[in-house]
Amino acid sequence: MFDSSINLTPSSFFSFELDCHSLPKPDARALSSKHVLPDLSELCNEIAFADVFIGWNPQGVAVRVVVNQPYERSAYPEFALGDSVELFIDTRDMKSAGFNTRFCHHFCFLAQPVEQFQAAEVTRFRTEDTHEHCNPKELKLAVDLKKNGYTYDLFIPKKCLVGYDPEQFDRLGFSYKINRWGKPSQHFGITSAEFPIEQYPSLWCSLRLMT
């Protein structure tokens, strides 16, 4: 019997495979129009308020998030309540796994620091798949605040991505959640209203690593 209490969006019935183009250098400032991700907000029953770019380099993954609304407020430890970005990356894109393997990662970045916190890995694992979180100091973050919006420039180095090896594995599992203070979030392919995104890597989008 179908559970009518579950509010599924159209995105629940699709899987997404997209191209992710390479970067000439490990720097989010090298991202261009060819690195922009498509807007899936309609399939998620959302209204988009941010543009997201992603590119890969042998040394790591770069992401730019352009938020087209003014900054309000960041929060910690409940970072999802304020202006922040959550990134979900599976370096092996293992769709057969129904849980976080050691190749899965959940990162959080605040638009502005709170209690000296601004960037960290916050992945939760099953006991047998646990590994130490990366050193927050290794995560590169620059935020440009303007009157009508703000931009995150992020770079996650290879040392923070267990299993990252583009020469041997040319795919990544990927999703994001862009949070705002007191307003709905923007998602990519799967919404947190339906599933706890951080626990379902099999539902993250697939990115093909292209040169």
CATH number of the domain enclosing 156: 2.60.40.1190
Model pLDDT for residues 41-94, shown as the tens digit of each residue: 877 778 899 999 999 999 999 999 999 999 999 999 999 999 999 999 999 998
Model pLDDT for residues 118-140, shown as the tens digit of each residue: 999 999 887 677 788 999 999 99
User: Omega into 113 within 30° of 0, i.e. cis?
Assistant: no
| Domains held by the chain: number | 1
Residue 99 reports pLDDT greater than 90: no
Model confidence pTM above 0.75: yes
pLDDT at 74: 97
Q: Which pLDDT band, with edges at 50, 70 and 90, does 195 fall under?
A: confident
In a domain, 1, yes or no: no
pLDDT at 193: 78
In a domain, 11, yes or no: no
Residue 190 reports pLDDT greater than 90: no
pLDDT at 8: 46
Integer Cα distance of 182 and 72 in angstroms: 9
Residue 141 reports pLDDT greater than 50: yes
Which residues constitute the domain of residue 120?
21-210
In a domain, 122, yes or no: yes
For all residues of the chain together, what is the average pLDDT? Answer: 90
Q: Which pLDDT band, with edges at 50, 70 and 90, does 2 fall under?
A: very low
In a domain, 95, yes or no: yes
Count of alpha carbons within 13 angstroms of residue 31, beta-carbon side:
24
Count of alpha carbons within 13 angstroms of residue 67, beta-carbon side:
27
In a domain, 6, yes or no: no
> How many CB atoms sit inside 10 A of residue 172's CB?
24
In a domain, 10, yes or no: no
In a domain, 2, yes or no: no
Render the burial of 14-51: b for 16+ CB within 10 Å, e for the rest: eebebebbebeebbbebbeeebebeebbebbebeebbe
In a domain, 14, yes or no: no
CA 130 to chain centroid: 20
